[in-house]
Every structure is written in C-alpha cells, then in structure tokens.
Amino acid sequence: MKKQAFNPYLPSWEYIPDGEPHVYGDRVYVYGSHDHFNGWVFCQGDYMGWSAPVDDLSDWRCEGVIYGRTDDPLNADGRACLYAPDVTQGPDGRYYLYYALDKFPVISVAVCDSPAGRYQFLGYVHYKDGTRLGEKPGDEPQFDPAVITEGDKTYLYTGFCGRGDKSRHGAMCTVLESDMLTIAEVPVFVVPGVEYAEGTGFEGHAFFEASSIRKRGNKYYFVYSSTPMHELCYAVSDKPTDGFTYGGVVVSNADLHIDTYKPADMPAVSGSNNHGGLVEIRGQWYIFYHRHTNNHWFSRQGCAEPVFFTEDGHIPQAEITSCGLNGGPLKAEGTYPAYIACHLFGKERQLIVGKADAPCITQDGKDGDKVDGHIRNIVDGTTIGFKYFDCRGVKGLRIQTRGYMKGVFEVRTAWNGETLGEIAVGYDNVWTEYRCDAAIPDGVHSIYLVYHGWGPGALKCITFEV
C-alpha cells in the first residue's frame, strides 16, 4: 500500500455511516448514507461515492455526489433524508441503487451505467398492479434496503422493528423481477423482530434494522443490527428466502462481549446504532460498520475490521481496532492522529453515546472543513486506547495537547496495566507538544494514555520515538 490504513478508513472530516462495501472490477466501493459534522438528525447529506483499489485499501478516492437528496420525485422540496442505501449489479450489467427516504414507507430505485457515476431516478418497488411496496393494505413499512442479484432475480431485504411495536414482525425478503422494480414474490419474514423472537434462537439478538446480505459459497449471510443497536449480528441459511438461523455477533461498536483484554460486559467506547456489511477483498473478508463521534448519534464514521470464518462457517466476533484495513498492526514510528483511537472512556463508562461532557472524538470548524479530528473533554480518569502497534525499539512518546488541563498521561500497553512512562502536560490555548521516556517492549501492543489531573483538555496526536 502507498501508506498505512486505519480506522476510520475515510478522512476524519467525512461522515459516511451505514457503509455497504462491494467489489466491482478492481475497486471496492462503499455505499452509505451521509451525516454532517455536528448534525442534528441522521443522514442530512447527499449520497457520496468513495472507492479504493482492491490492492491498496489505504488509497480512498472521493467520487463526488452520486445521488442527490432532491433527485427523488417524493423529495423535490428536500424535507426528507436519504437513509441507508445498497447497490447491486442487475442482469443487464447496470448498477441499481436502492434506498428509503425517512418520511415514506416505500423503496426507491436509481440506476447508473457505472458503480460510482451519477445515478438517475428509476422508480419505486411495486406490485404488478402498480401499488408501491409498503403502501398496500397489510404491508409493513419498508426501511434499510439490502439487495443481492442472482441471474434474473433480485432479493430485496428490508425492515425495522422497535421494541414494543407488535405491528412490525421482522426482516422481510421480497423477490424482484429482472426489471429491478416489479415484485415477483411477495415479502416473507426471514429474521424475527424483538416482539416475535421468543423460541426462535434469536432471543437477545432479534432483528432491529440495517439489513445486509452476502453469499459465501452456498450460504447466505444476513447481517443486521440487533435490538441492543451497537451489535451487527448475522444469520445464515442455504436459501435466500427462508431457513435463517442465528449465527452470532460479528462486531460491536462498543466492543461489548469481547473478553480477551477486558471484562465482556465492559464497553471500550460509547456505541449506539450500527450498520454495515461483509465483503471479500482479495481472499480476505471484512466487516464494515460505523462509530459515533461528537457525543451524539448524528456524526457517524465508517470503520472496518477483518473477519474470519471457521470450518463450519461461523464468524468469531471481531475486535474494534485502530488498524482496520491495514492487514496487520501499525508501525510504532512517526506521528498518528488521536482520532484513530478505538477505545475511549472515562471513570463512568457509557454503553450508549450521548453524555455531553464525556470524552469524544470531534473536529474544529464546520461540516466539510478538511481538518483532522481530535479528542476533547479529557478529564481525570479518561482512558484513550489505540490498537495495535508493532513496537520495535520504542524509547519515548510525544503528544500534542491543548486546553485547561494540568496533570499527567500515563503510558500503558493495557488499559489497567503497568505504567511505562508519564507525560506531564500544562495549560495551553494552542497545540503544544510534551514527551516522556517510555521503554515499550518489542512486540505487538496496544497503546493506552490514561490521564490524571485537572481538565478538560484535548489530544491531537501521538508520536513514537525510536
């Protein structure tokens, strides 16, 4: 690769959640919704295209706007938001974009001759009599489409099931004809929602939203966000329209359930809703998901982790890391931005994001300003973690801080581990560098900074001295 890859995989000033990755030709394309920095609702922007060569997952290219908020006739006034989309290549070789607007119960479709060109509105998924899916009596509202095309058939997965709402039964699969719009087989339920999960094997991990579908060998893997929200779970079947059984958690954006470096029930960072999909790139599978920034739900960023399949097709849960698509640990040399931290918590650990004074990743300026992110609200007891670094001959660590902070950062290789050095920091209204000697053992390690002192303050970057 031209450079190292890390999470988030796009620039820190870009907010593309709900990422659905697909390989077309020699590039991987990510289709997601578009949040704004410091936004006040989900998905305020147009659909942006991003892609990277399959042999260099550090080299992401912005393809520009591929579909605008007002391109759908239902949203000519721009009052609705473009929610999470998906793309499939149709039997005619063209690319079809499926999406839902937040104020309508239907699925819209746009089409393009290339994966990341400007898509043109095509129509709405509908029954043979012309009634739009989602508007026929007895239909459940459509939401978060996922699509996979096999031959002349396209399988469309949709749904949203909130706790306490018995009118929503689960994730649906609808089979479409080769025109990519007309329903060939009416919706069937494939994974139960929380109100209908008892006795199904999905208890505790029922379908909530965020449908995604992939095929590996002869198995269909349905990835979805479960009722706890921070999880992406999966179900597997031999057929696309029935027989799905619960498989497990693929990833949690709070790293819950992982017990290798912490208790399983301890969140390593505040999470919340999650959405993403699986993709195979040059023989390696990855799960794409998103994280939350700015201490609220509406400025989400795309991340990715490698995943592995056991011989029987099970996916062990992936850890959230800073190195993501890098293919291994980052080199412990040079400077890294603080926004690639994958663990971030205070004395009071929060599973769900939203506490206004909690430490968080943010940025200066306004939405669209190309400014690297940083961590703010650092107070006594804040823990900041980066995973993983390949440490060879590391002798010291430098950091840049600013704000009303006076204290020390303890340097560790585990969140509750031995202190290997202490970096004293003081009051500064501009970014100022401080350092300490820290003999980090050779090997692959996490790097944690644990702050003790007055605050709040901010962290811009860390630099390894070798």
Question: Which sequence spans correspond to the domains of the chain?
Answer: 20-326, 334-465
How far is 428 from 402, CA to CA, in rounded Å? 5
Which pLDDT value is given to residue 18? 98
Q: Are 108 and 100 in contact (CB under 8 A)?
A: yes
pLDDT beneath 70: ranges in the chain: none
Cβ–Cβ contacts within 10 Å for residue 150, how many? 11
Which of 63, 209, 255, 428 does the annotation list as catalytic?
209
Q: Are 122 and 187 in contact (CB under 8 A)?
A: no
402: left (phi over 0), alpha (psi -120 to 50) or beta: beta
- CATH fold match for the domains 20-326 and 334-465: no
Candidates 3.40.50.150, 2.40.50.140, 2.115.10.20, 3.50.50.60; CATH matching 20-326: 2.115.10.20
pLDDT single digits (tens) 398-452: 999 999 999 999 999 999 999 999 999 999 999 999 999 999 999 999 999 999 9
What percentage of the chain exceeds 70 in pLDDT? 100
Which pLDDT value is given to residue 74? 98
Which pLDDT value is given to residue 1? 82
pLDDT single digits (tens) 249-301: 999 999 999 999 999 999 999 999 999 999 999 999 999 999 999 999 999 99
**SS3 assignment for 278-298:** EEEECCEEEEEEEEECCCCCC
Could you tell me which residues come within 8 angstroms of residue 144 by beta carbon, excluding any fewer than 6 positions away?
18, 83, 84, 100, 158, 159, 160, 209, 210, 211, 275
How far is 341 from 286, CA to CA, in rounded Å? 19
Q: Which residues pair with 51 in a beta bridge?
A: 29, 61
Which pLDDT value is given to residue 2? 85
Q: What is the DSSP letter of 329?
A: P
Tell the residue number behind the tokens 């006034």, with chain if given: 77
Is pTM beyond 0.95 here?
Answer: yes
Query: Cβ-count burial of 40 within 10 angstroms (0-12 exposed, 13-18 middle, 19+ buried)?
Result: exposed
Which of 18, 35, 305, 428 does the annotation list as catalytic?
18
Average of per-residue pLDDT values in the chain: 98
Tell the residue number behind the tokens 């412990």, with chain if given: 332
Taking the mean position of all CA atoms in its chain, how far away is CA 389? 22
Question: Is 152 a known active-site residue?
Answer: no
Candidates 3.30.390.10, 3.30.1330.100, 2.30.30.90, 2.60.120.260; CATH matching 334-465: 2.60.120.260
Question: Is 20 a known active-site residue?
Answer: no
